[in-house]
Amino acid sequence: MKLFGTGGAIAAAVFALSGAASAQECIAPANPGGGWDFTCRQVGKSLQDLGLIDQTMQVVNLAGGGGGVAFAEVVNKRGEDNELIVAASAATATRLAQGAYPGNTMDQVRWLAAIGADYGVIAVAADSPVNTLPELLDQIKADPTSVSVAGGSAVGGWDHLKVLIAANAYGIDDVRAVKYIAFDGGGEAVTQLLAGSVQAFTGDISEAKGFVDSGDIRVIAVLAPDRLPGEFAEFPTAKEQGIDAIGANWRGFYAPGGMTDEAYGDWVGKIGDLYASDEWKEVMAANGLAPLDLQGADFQNFVAESVGQIQTISKEIGIIK
């Protein structure tokens, strides 16, 4: 309860300061350093660089509940804000699919557009003795209590589901035995990995990239059907290691449910123009984002289908009944 109160107070204070100037704002529903934070900051910067917005996008980090604090804030307090967008992903759809945002559903907000897809990764610290995904999963098979896997989504969330899908594909019958520890964002999860508090990290390629570049972590598996292009080509897929596990995390935005049609259309157009730009193609290539070109009604329908699919997967692996 304290977290909800604190987060709401911070957001309200920020809104009081920014609302008068009609500043455009993006809420990242996690602490700095994770995928939602990346989505807000990179898209905000690119929109301004391209002249699609005329001032700096204000980014507010509102962590908690695997995105639930931010979702409740938007639905309950900011439902008619035309200047607000919120970073979302497959993790958001997962939480909605599993009923993890109490009293909230995907239809309470308007889904704007996707800006790409981010394939999942499983990584270890650079000095870890584990070199392959089968090695990690063998350790879990032998003694589930000996391996803790950290992710930036809540228990049962998308980061959690990715490692469970891999474990399931490897023949670990009771995937609920996999020890998963949730943190508010991928950045915090990697920090715990580097501190030695956990033995592995499950997240997305964009979250892992900076830590790979700095030499802190090693990616032991990308959950993609084939190796990614360019500088990501060195990372092995789970599939080539004999584990048929695919996990693509789409990234995009939702907006308040009471946003006007005019404002909604304006945001859809801006993000569509951004996605179509050469500048955004360079950002996608640099951060391992795969193409996913969906705006407006097409994106709304895509999210609805995603929620349905995740409900099915979650039932299969015992997350929900």
Pairing mode of beta strands 84-89, 25-28: parallel
Which stretch of 33-42, 196-205, 223-232, 265-274 has the lowest confidence by average pLDDT? Answer: 223-232
Give mean pLDDT, residues 114-139.
96
* For residue 123, pLDDT beyond 50: yes
* For residue 14, pLDDT beyond 70: no
Which pLDDT score is estimated for 237?
Answer: 97
pLDDT tens digits, one per residue of 62-89: 999 999 999 999 999 999 999 999 999 9
pLDDT tens digits, one per residue of 256-309: 999 999 999 999 999 999 999 999 999 998 888 888 999 999 999 999 998 988
Single-letter amino acid code for the residue at 245: A
Residue found by looking up tokens 């959690």 in the block: 160
Which pLDDT score is estimated for 136?
Answer: 98
Mean pLDDT of the chain: 90
Question: What is the distance between the alpha carbons of residues 37 and 43, in angstroms, rounded to a whole number?
Answer: 10
The number of residues making up the chain comes to: 321
Q: How far apart are the first and last CA of the chain?
A: 27
Q: Give me the DSSP letters along 128-193.
A: -S--SHHHHHHHHHH-GGG-EEEESS-TTSHHHHHHHHHHHHTT-S-GGGSEEEE-SSHHHHHHHH
Which pLDDT score is estimated for 12?
Answer: 42
Question: What is the distance between the alpha carbons of residues 297 and 73, in angstroms, rounded to a whole number?
Answer: 24
Confidence category of residue 215, pLDDT binned at 50, 70, 90: very high
Q: How many CB atoms lie within 10 A of CB 3?
A: 13
Give mean pLDDT, residues 213-234.
92
Residue predicted with more confidence, 95 or 229: 95
Closest CA to 210 of 143, 123, 320: 123
CATH 3.40.190.150 domain span(s) along the chain: 2-118+250-316
Which pLDDT score is estimated for 34?
Answer: 85
The answer to whether the beta carbons of residues 202 and 120 sit under 8 Å apart is yes
Which pLDDT score is estimated for 144?
Answer: 94
Percent of the chain with pLDDT over 70: 93
Confidence category of residue 249, pLDDT binned at 50, 70, 90: confident
Indicate the CATH number of 119-248 among 3.40.50.150, 3.40.50.11540, 3.40.47.10, 3.40.190.10: 3.40.190.10
Which pLDDT score is estimated for 288?
Answer: 83
Question: What is the distance between the alpha carbons of residues 4 and 15, in angstroms, rounded to a whole number?
Answer: 16
Q: Where are the alpha helices (DSSP H) in the chain?
A: 2-19, 35-49, 68-77, 90-97, 133-142, 158-169, 186-194, 205-213, 261-276, 278-287, 296-316
* For residue 206, pLDDT beyond 90: no
Give mean pLDDT, residues 28-50.
95
- Reduced to 3 states, what is the DSSP secondary structure of residue 110? strand
Question: What is the distance between the alpha carbons of residues 185 and 175, in angstroms, rounded to a whole number?
Answer: 23
CATH 3.40.190.10 domain span(s) along the chain: 119-248
Which pLDDT score is estimated for 275?
Answer: 98
* For residue 198, pLDDT beyond 80: yes
* For residue 6, pLDDT beyond 50: no
* For residue 250, pLDDT beyond 70: yes
2-118+250-316: what fold?
D-Maltodextrin-Binding Protein; domain 2 (3.40.190)
- Reduced to 3 states, what is the DSSP secondary structure of residue 223? coil
Question: What is the distance between the alpha carbons of residues 241 and 45, in angstroms, rounded to a whole number?
Answer: 38
Give mean pLDDT, residues 170-183.
91
* For residue 19, pLDDT beyond 50: no
Give mean pLDDT, residues 150-178.
90
Which pLDDT score is estimated for 22?
Answer: 65
